[in-house]
Structure 1
Amino acid sequence: MKLCILCAKQRAVLKRPKTGQQICQACFYHVFETEIHHTIVDAKLFRRGERVAIGASGGKDSTVLAHVMKQLNEQYDYGLDLFLLSVDEGITGYRDDSLETVKRNQQQYELPLKIVSYGDLYGWTMDDIVREVGLKNNCTYCGVFRRQALDRGAVMLGVDHIVTGHNADDIAETVLMNIFRGDIARLGRCTEIVTQGESSIRRSKPFKYTYEKEIVMYAYFKKLDYFSTECIYSPNAYRGYARTFLKDLESVRPSAIVDIIHSGEAFEIKSTVKMPSQKTCERCGYMSSNDTCKACVLLEGLNRGLPQLGIGKESRVRKQIAESEQKELPTVVQHFSQIQRDADAPDIIQPRDPSTVYTPPPRMPTGVLDPPTKKTLDW
């Protein structure tokens, strides 16, 4: 029997993917939560009295984030007013079921929940979009729309700050993707732990240095209620190829994930490189590097019956708009300056009968040292 390397009292039950330490369950909880607390304190993420929205999808990352944020807020007296904020993309058989998990989390953590939907905000659900554009570029639509939907929901809640469950693996994947695409503008900011959203709403990533495997282990040992199925429209996503490449690197060198993040932080862009300037979309008032934001361009393509409008280079987009015989369509998205803050706290949203909801079993990590003779400790 191997004893925990930290307390030397309890039996070691897991090997940390991040450090290789063999530790007991209690010590794992302590170091996991303490590292996140230090990340929050070192980066000065929060100010006392802030209203903070937790981006909640029902998955492992956002569920663990909600659990840890509530616990740390009480343990270290951050003085934050916490909310859950979810986006309903309109994906039948995936998002409708995962939102039921968020509704249960709302009751388990006693946090108010606000849900905004693509259908209400844009007039299109992801099911509608996929029927129009197919499975190749649908993630582009979803990513652009979801980012703006979170900011819109935050304005409705009147929050000052949004925290998301992006972990170290996610950030390392983003660094690789931006390098592969030669996207200098995004490469310069993708490793920032805090970014500025619309209407002075800050976004931060408390899990910036937290490995995905450890999040899975924490959720499993704590028996948290989360939804573990991947999006049904994501098999062809470009990020999936970067993820596979990163996992291959990690299997050879576990520190590869945090090494890539530190490399991204160290990148310096020459002063002679022309960077896009920050503007405001003329149509919806959202932040943009062009006169019209990406979301409005994509929406115009959908409404014109030109689903590939906005996919690719900006010069091609302008050419497609010029060649289109239809007149410019009116904006269907509410202008940011017109969004009203909710007068009252969100109502309790009751989850459906669990027997009518598909909930996959929790993801089981195989980094547990049982039986003791097992030598391969990856999952």
Structure 2
Amino acid sequence: MVCDRCRGGKAQIQRLRDRHRLCKACFFAEFEREVHETIVHHDLFQVGERIAIAISGGKDSVVLAHVLKELNERHQYGLELVLLAIDEGIHGYRDASLAAVKRNSSALGLPLVSLSYDELYDGWTMDRVVSQIGRTNNCTFCGVFRRQALERGARHIRANKLATGHNADDMAETVFLNLVRGDSARLRHSADVMTGALANGGTSPDETVHWLPRVKPLLYMYEKEIVMYAYWKRLDYFATECVYAPNAFRAFARDLVKELEALRPRAIIDTLTAAQALSRHADGVSAVGTVTAVKQCARCGYVSSQVICKACILLEHLRRGTGKEATHRHATRSVFSASDQTSCTESCAADQCKCP
């Protein structure tokens, strides 16, 4: 069977988006063209910006780094690209994936900056966290810590934006998770291609307190096609799942997305489109959720949506030996007294952080 695009090469893949059968060369061209169109259509980057690429060594982040470097040179975006890796401290897993990150840094010729939970969170690696709380709900800690660690790292290198490798499947999972949790505030922006200070009418980047803008150039790319791109390009990526991930609640959403994709592949993109439509038309409509004004954490000084950031709240639980309680629905509301929240100056490893 011949390629539907060039009519010359042998078709190797049928795309989920439009069912077109493409040869390898045409698949690469279409994949990169669609990522470029996402970048241009959503105005994700500006000439001269420094972009931190969050890289874990997995297929998504490795493909993101490879494609961004390629497109930056081909279309003259004028970007300075820097790889940013976070070591969560998971023995036998993260050390191996970070080795892949270092190899990609060398192969791409891009600088690499690494930060660890150990240095940022007073020795609380994920292995140490799990030793206290067990394997249930440990992703709550890792998600909060990782989000802040990426923010810290990107600010440390004075990046203008942080690029992540979230794909269409990932974001569809997030839409469903926020839906079943009844979090309409976050549901509104579950599928936004850019979040943070400059997105959705946010604050000026010149203000002292603001979220660093996060962009998702792979938002409309299916996970299966990212896998094939990485495989056929012979990219060096780490394919083993996190040892603590199988017990995560997100796994149920992932199974749902896979079932929908098998029944109707277009359902994934349609889910994102529906969530984006909700975001566009949500102004003036009340919502249930926790999205609030941007503040600075009274403890560590980092950007937060509440007086005490979630990372500091979780760290306090760990220090008290009550880590399991932190994952309960209402636990974080009563960890600190009013006086703690207004006057506490305790640092959450800020003295160890190399951020400016």
TM-score normalised to structure 1 length: 0.84
Instruction: Output the CA distance in 1 between the equivalents of 2:182 and 2:317.
Output: 26
Partner of 1:79: 78
Superposition pairs for residues 47-58 of structure 1, below 5 Å?
Answer: 47-58=46-57
Structure 1 alignment gaps of length 5 or more: 323-327, 342-379
For the 8 Å contact 1:284–1:335, the answer to whether it is kept is no
For the 8 Å contact 1:160–1:200, the answer to whether it is kept is no
Deviation at 1:5, TM superposition (A): 0.6
For the 8 Å contact 1:56–1:102, the answer to whether it is kept is yes
**SS class of match (1:310):** helix
Partner of 1:60: 59
Instruction: Output the CA distance in 2 between the equivalents of 1:199 and 1:321.
Output: 24
Superposition pairs for residues 313-328 of structure 1, below 5 Å?
Answer: 313-314=329-330, 316-319=331-334, 321=336
Could you tell which deviates more after superposition, 224-233 or 8-17?
8-17
**SS class of match (2:16):** coil
Partner of 1:364: none
Superposition pairs for residues 38-187 of structure 1, below 5 Å?
Answer: 38-123=37-122, 124-187=124-187
TM-aligned CA distance change 1:333 to 1:110, over 3 Å: same
For the 8 Å contact 2:167–2:220, the answer to whether it is kept is yes
Deviation at 1:118, TM superposition (A): 0.2
Deviation at 1:195, TM superposition (A): 1.1
Structure 2 residue identity aligned to 1:138: N
TM-aligned CA distance change 1:62 to 1:302, over 3 Å: same
Structure 1 residue identity aligned to 2:84: L
| Deviation digits for residues 290-328 of structure 1 (CA, Å, limit 9, x no counterpart) | 2111111000000111113432334x4344556xxxxx8
The reply to whether residue 331 of structure 1 matches residue 347 of structure 2 is yes
For the 8 Å contact 2:184–2:288, the answer to whether it is kept is no
Instruction: Output the CA distance in 2 between the equivalents of 1:75 and 1:56.
Output: 22
Partner of 1:257: 268
Instruction: Output the CA distance in 2 between the equivalents of 1:297 and 1:321.
Output: 8
| Deviation digits for residues 151-184 of structure 1 (CA, Å, limit 9, x no counterpart) | 1111111111110000000000000000011111
Q: Identical aligned pairs, as a percentage? A: 49
Deviation at 1:265, TM superposition (A): 1.0
**SS class of match (2:220):** coil
Partner of 2:192: 192
Deviation at 1:19, TM superposition (A): 2.0
Partner of 2:340: none
Could you tell which deviates more after superposition, 158-167 or 185-194?
185-194
User: Across the two proteins, how many residue pairs are aligned to each other?
Assistant: 333
Match of 2:244 among 233, 236, 244: 233
Instruction: Output the CA distance in 2 between the equivalents of 1:264 and 1:14.
Output: 29
Instruction: Output the CA distance in 2 between the equivalents of 1:80 and 1:48.
Output: 6
TM-aligned CA distance change 1:59 to 1:207, over 3 Å: same
Partner of 1:357: none
TM-aligned CA distance change 1:166 to 1:232, over 3 Å: same
Instruction: Output the CA distance in 2 between the equivalents of 1:257 and 1:219.
Output: 21
Could you tell which deviates more after superposition, 305-314 or 140-149?
305-314
| Deviation digits for residues 119-143 of structure 1 (CA, Å, limit 9, x no counterpart) | 0000210000000111111000000
Deviation at 1:11, TM superposition (A): 1.1
Partner of 2:285: 271
Structure 2 alignment gaps of length 5 or more: 198-208, 338-343
Instruction: Output the CA distance in 1 between the equivalents of 2:161 and 2:193.
Output: 13
For the 8 Å contact 2:152–2:355, the answer to whether it is kept is no
The reply to whether residue 280 of structure 1 matches residue 304 of structure 2 is no
